Amino acid sequence: MSQSALKASTIAATTRLGRSRVCRRAVPVLAVAVAALLAGCAQRDSI
């Protein structure tokens, strides 16, 4: 494998890792946001 191809595959691997890390970080944040929205809607309906 040439050096440029190796570099390209390394960059692709790191971007893939970075993306999965971002997703892992975003999932709990989204879950909390959805839970807060649902709680807010439930409170509004109960009043």
Alpha carbons 24 and 17: distance in angstroms, whole number:
10
- pLDDT for 12-24, tens place per residue? 887 887 778 777 7
pLDDT band at 6 (very low <50, low <70, confident <90, very high): confident
pLDDT of residue 42: 76
Query: In this model, does residue 1 exceed pLDDT 80?
Result: no
Both tokens of 37, joined, read: 């929205």
Q: Where are the domains of the chain?
A: 1-47
Query: In this model, does residue 2 exceed pLDDT 90?
Result: no
Percentage helix, strand, coil, to 5, in the chain?
A: 95, 0, 5
- pLDDT for 33-47, tens place per residue? 999 988 887 777 765
